[in-house]
Structure 1
Amino acid sequence: MDRTEARAVIKYLQKKSITFKKMHEDMVNTLGEESACYSAIKKSPVDFKRGRESIKNYPRSGHLKSSTMDDQVETIHCMDLNDRRLSVQQITDTLGISAGSVRTVLTDILGMSKLSA
């Protein structure tokens, strides 16, 4: 279930003055594993009581995911294929992105792992 849909259900149940525990039980019985967790159910009505009207996600500040864009992924992939002995730090220094981003690209996106002899 999408977060927006979950917020809509929670907002509806809150207007019916149902307790957090009953909301969670109802959603688990109806939706199963797709239901929102108890902490999310407990947090959303508080936001609605504070005046939040929208069930949509608010825009958040912060950096865009520029280090995992397609061109960066392709660049890291080519660097790794050209020289298998490159370290994460060398790639980081060359591209000017964080070591965590390089590791994410290598392991999660490209599916590469470290193998020992």
Structure 2
Amino acid sequence: MNTESFRFYIKVRTALNIEARTIHDVLHTVFGDEAPSYRTVARWAQWFREGREEIEDEERSGRPVTETTPDNIEEIRSIVNDDPHVTIAELQEHTGLSYGTVHRILSDHLELIKITARYIPKQLTDYQRNERVRICKENLSRFTEGGWRLSDVITGDESWFFHQQTGRKVSNAAWVAKDDPPPTIIRRISLLLKLYFAFSLNQLVLF
């Protein structure tokens, strides 16, 4: 198995959200000393998570380190500020810089890392939050006064209607400063208000 085949395997397994340590252990079990080291696997897995597509080595055309000029750094900073989810491949296309140069600017000069967004289950409007508080207080008052009992509830059901699905974890990853918390993304955004019906023996409770 040649080097590019190992890299292709790492790329596929990384796309399936398999950790670099697991990928390395499998390769080492099958190929022994021929398998790449853990550091190599981890490095390529990181590059693939950040958006790299190529498995071949970059062409060494003798480009000078002066590609990391202030103008290039500011150009990449501007693109990332406009779209924190941009990939290194897209930055290469926008700027014409090599993969290594873009990666060096992001990590060394801008001190950015790309991490997966933290999911938030739901996004409620102010009206929905206020309604939940009002209804809970109303039901608590009924329960306290003896006008409504939890034992009256027979069953309940709820329905959500969605107009958007969240993307894969890789597509939701964003560039952030090394000390910043991960960005957040709403897992599902409701198209209609959420209604919860609880059927009781003597009344219908609407949430």
| TM-score normalised by L of structure 2 | 0.28
| TM-score normalised by L of structure 1 | 0.48
Name whichever structure is richer in strand by fraction.
2
Query: Which structure has the larger Rg over C-alpha atoms?
Result: 2
